[in-house]
Amino acid sequence: MFDLLDRVLRVQPAPPMSTVVATLAIALVLVMWRRSWRWVRNAVTIAHEGGHALMAVLCGRRLEGIRLHSDTSGLTFTRGRDRGPGMVLSLAAGYTAPSLLGAAGAALLATGRLTLLLWLGILLAVLMLVMIRNFYGVLSVLVTGGVLFAVSWYADSTWQAAFAYTGVWFLVIGGIRPVFELQAQRRRGQARSSDADQLARLTPLSGGAWVTVFLLVGLGAIALTASLFGVIAATRDSSLFN
């Protein structure tokens, strides 16, 4: 047990700037290339629905289940008041969750807790698995958790760093693409029950204003992540020269 804790909590040295830039490029390709996005978007959906679920529980709502579908959509079922702050926060948490999760991951990487980041991802996957209510959802979460475990347990520090930095970049960049997709659907009149439109019915803000809020949160997460990674690289370069 102590060996496991030491392994998980160990502080690892920052990777070179070339790794940070390379992982950014990989994440951009994964998000922007339509073929790759079709597959990796499941990870964003897991974070999206996990955000709904976590906020619902924190707001005192009863979480009844989560479904993930092969078209990369998802649904989170909760029970409680159909109005009020709890409902608003639960709805708002979906589109902001991937970006905020990525920014939190960047903060952990800034402290050198690379393996801890991977194991926290495994823990979140396990907690979410309990609430999944369909086969495809179970399969998606199991694959995600399995990949995280394999990297954290078998990969060396170099590959762990490459995976973790790519994952964080992917979450903060991939977190805003669904926002643009949502607005495109709204313009075509195809998203009348979207999170933004449900929020518009519960608050004074319009659906378009909520889309803007989602986008600003996502852009802020990207800026924060870039800033943290810049500090990591600068710290590493300074230590090398000293």
**pLDDT tens readout for residues 38-95:** 999 999 999 999 999 999 999 999 999 999 999 989 999 999 888 899 999 999 999 9
Q: What is the pLDDT of residue 236?
A: 61
Q: What is the pLDDT of residue 239?
A: 52
Q: Tokens for 96?
A: 């902001």
pLDDT tens per residue, range 96-131: 999 999 999 999 999 888 889 999 999 999 999 999
DSSP per-residue codes, 190-232: --TTSHHHHHHHHSSS-HHHHHHHHHHHHHHHHHHHHHHHHHH
pLDDT tens per residue, range 138-159: 999 999 999 999 998 899 889 9
**Percentage of residues in the chain having pLDDT higher than 70:** 94
- Model-level pTM? 0.91
- The residues spanned by each domain of the chain are 26-64+81-236
Structure letter (DSSP) for residue 65: E
